[in-house]
Amino acid sequence: MECAVDGRSGISLADVVENAALQTRVDKKFLLTPEQFRRFTNRLGPEFSVMQINGLRTFQYRSTYFDTPDFEQYVAHRQGRRRRYKVRSRTYVESELCMFEIKTKGLRGATVKHRREQPIADAHVLTPENLEFAAQVLAEEYGHKMPKLVPALRNAYRRATLVDPVDGERVTCDVDLRYADADGVVHGPDMVIVETKTAHGRGISDAALAELNIRPVSMSKYCLGVATLNPQLPANKWSRLLSRLNWERTAA
């Protein structure tokens, strides 16, 4: 991760929000080896700053995802349905901030994020206020009623965020991915999950990855986690990707 953050100028969270919030955006995910990641970040020029808060440049993220008891949204993602969404809480550990979020797919595949702040104590539960918020979003976006949701998955990882404040482009870089269930902790492989977030899907970072012959992958941290922890569920969409990854389970 150091190759992404060392030697770059810092940018504050306030400036990121002002210049590169991109709540409506085109997201692309890539799975890189450490060496590929080093070559990729070397191609990003000084226009990319690294988000810095209180002197820190990498941050711990913890998420709890909510789905129906039969994993309705996991199935929707596996089947590639256009009208799909994710409901989660995300805790920014160092900032002691927790957000309740709903990510929907908008026109032309763009991702739209709806969010509200909540107490950290509510990170693993669906409060009445969040249920009302989620129901309103789904009604407005899709005309759907809110299904019954339960906590479905927890994950954690370490992230650095690169930002081009002029073009509003962001690149998130995630390492140390792990999932937790009642039986233990599943650690992800020694890979870097890179996600480009642009207004149009043709950013500087996308071009740099293409020059290295690194192609986008169809994946989500939520779906990979569900498939890994619930092998009885069909996972044909990610079977090739899962076969490449070396997952290690440790006792709880």
Beta-carbon count within 10 A of 158 CB: 16
Residue 247: pLDDT band by 50, 70, 90 thresholds? confident
Beta-carbon count within 10 A of 130 CB: 20
Residue 219: pLDDT band by 50, 70, 90 thresholds? confident
Residue 29: pLDDT band by 50, 70, 90 thresholds? very high
Q: How far apart are CA 83 and CA 250, in angstroms?
A: 36
Residue 109: pLDDT band by 50, 70, 90 thresholds? low
Strands (E) across the chain are located at: 10-11, 24-32, 49-51, 59-67, 85-92, 97-105, 111-118, 150-164, 169-181, 184-187, 192-198, 248-251
Q: Domains in the chain, ordered, with CATH?
A: 2-251 (2.40.320.10)
Of the candidates 219, 167, 174, the one whose C-alpha atom is nearest the C-alpha of residue 198 is 167
Q: How far apart are CA 75 and CA 58, in angstroms?
A: 32
- Amino acid 201: pLDDT: 72
- Render pLDDT for 121-164 as a digit per residue (tens, 0 to 9): 999 999 999 999 999 999 988 888 889 999 999 999 999 999 98
Residue 58: pLDDT band by 50, 70, 90 thresholds? very high
User: Angle at CA 65, nearest 5°, toward 151 and 187?
Assistant: 105
- Amino acid 40: pLDDT: 95
DSSP state, residue 138: H
Q: Are 162 and 4 in contact (CB under 8 A)?
A: yes
* pLDDT of residue 43 exceeding 90: yes
Of the candidates 182, 176, 143, 183, the one whose C-alpha atom is nearest the C-alpha of residue 160 is 176
